[in-house]
Amino acid sequence: MAPEPLRNDPFPEIRREDDAGAAFVLESKGEWWHAGFHLTTAIVGPTVLTLPYVFRGLGWGLGFLCLTVMGLVTFYSYYLMSLVLDHCEKSGRRHIRFRELAADVLGSGWMFYFVVLIQTAVNTGISIGAILLAGECIQIMYSELSPHGPLKLYHFIAMVTVVMIFLSQFPSFHSLRHINLVSLFLSLGYTFLVVGACINAGKSKNAPPRDYSLETSQLSRVFSAFTSISIIAAIFGNGILPEIQATLAPPATGKMLKGLMLCYSVILVTFYSASVSGYWVFGNKVNSNILKSLMPDEGPSLAPTWVLGLAVVFILLQLFAIGLVYSQVAYEIMEKKSADANKAVFSPRNLIPRIILRTLYMALCGFFAAMLPFFGDINGVVGAIGFIPLDFVLPMLLYNMTFKPKKSSVIYWINTSIMVVFSGAGLLGSFSSIRKLVLDANKFKLFSSDIVD
């Protein structure tokens, strides 16, 4: 049996009927396929285009191994967390927030605030990154149409921010289900376009010479390997599975597994095809964004302009969905205090604070995106520090604490081994990401029109 809920829990179950964050943002009306749409948007994003670069730091064999192991571990991790949530629901305590679940099962008040801090940092970081990348997408299209135009990156970021402010007014996570279905097809669309472009480039007369050798320095090779592992962890991570499961209509038992199966079917198709095709063509010269390898600064483009342009449009559209998904935790926290669950969701009492707070939040994200066009390096550190504990450590710990498997059992040692291995990988990945941040520091310039690669 799991321990009783914390008596000093800031979000006790007995007050759920007055909880506007639960009633409005984490509205529970979804089906398993809706959870699959949300999960796919949270995991399968434009970061899939960095996977060939991951192989550059690992090579063919280790690249396939790490990608496969990370996929299996995250699927297992998310499944365990869904089991813990199901167990709590059957016990009369349906947790709809990661922080509630961690504090309840682990019986520690500080764990509540630890999860709030890490989850908020990761989610806000992704929202900022989505706005930054969306602005870059528009800049790429603009530079093709008007190479010497006066507009800078921060102008496009401001445009994206205005659109995000408008879209942020969807009241609940569940109300994003149709947007996230479109997001799923967009991820398949730009992946297939990029894979086709890579195959075409590899067979063309302008195909670059292929070299799959790793760095000559042993130390550099180690750092590159752990940086690549951190990137894979960040790509597979989401950190909001309890909030996604909260959108399911009760009882949620068993539904999340079907949603995970849908999500990982898309992952299987997109991740492996992008990794193999990109690394096959460019080898150890591949860029951190495969689109830049297909559109080199010098020499002819290696893919038809319309193909790359359509891929960029698909990426741009999906980034809006990603920004919306990862902002839901912030909205839920804000509306827990600002909204009145006893009033209608679109009543003036709730509509006005929602418009004001969500507008301010998105404006703040947009400001940081414009000010810090080197946010990718910062996000690498945040990802290594945030995704590892949320997705590779806490789910196993929560399962062991809830179901208490015998210490001699296989599942206990599998869970413990995953926690130990990925805690170590997270520390080394954080060190590697911080190292890259320091090495790139001389390239950083506030409000620059160029993103540091």
Distance CA 386, CA 237 (A): 9
pLDDT at 445: 64
CA distance 82 to 89: 10
Q: What is the pLDDT of residue 214?
A: 82
Residue 313 has which token pair?
């449009």
Q: Are 257 and 411 in contact (CB under 8 A)?
A: no
List domains and CATH numbers for the chain: 23-210+233-372 (1.20.1730.10)
Tokens linked to 168:
């942020």
Helix (H, G, I), strand (E, B) or coil at 248: strand
Phi-psi category of 40—alpha, beta or left, where left has phi over 0 and alpha has psi -120 to 50? alpha
pLDDT for the residue 379: 58
Strand partners of residue 30 = 248
pLDDT in tens, 348-367: 999 999 999 999 999 999 99
Residue 252: its pLDDT value, please? 83
* Torsion angle of C-alpha atoms 447, 298, 319, 445, degrees rounded to 10: -10
- Per the CB < 8 A criterion, the answer to whether 179 and 321 are in contact is yes
Residue 440: CB atoms within 10 A of its CB come to: 14
Q: What is the DSSP letter of 4?
A: P
* Residue-level pLDDT at 7: 42
Residue (of 126, 119, 71) closest to 394 by Cα position: 119
CA distances from 18 to 201, 243, 247 (A): 58, 18, 18
Compute CA distances 328 → 248, 322, 447, whole Å.
15, 10, 27
Structure-block tokens of residue 301:
């483009």
Whether the upstream peptide bond of residue 52 has omega within 30° of 0, thus cis, is no
Cα distance between residue 102 and residue 115, in whole Å: 8
Question: What is the three-class DSSP state of 30?
Answer: strand
- pLDDT per residue over 292-329, tens digit each? 888 876 777 888 889 989 999 999 999 999 999 999 99
Which residues of the chain have a pLDDT value below 50? 1-15
Residue 273 structure tokens: 């095809």
Instruction: Determine phi and psi for 100, rounding to 5 degrees.
Output: -65, -45
Query: Cα–Cα distance between 267 and 92 in angstroms, integer?
Result: 34
Nearest to 221 by CA among 377, 56, 57, 433: 57
The model's pTM is: 0.90
Structure tokens at 314: 């698909």
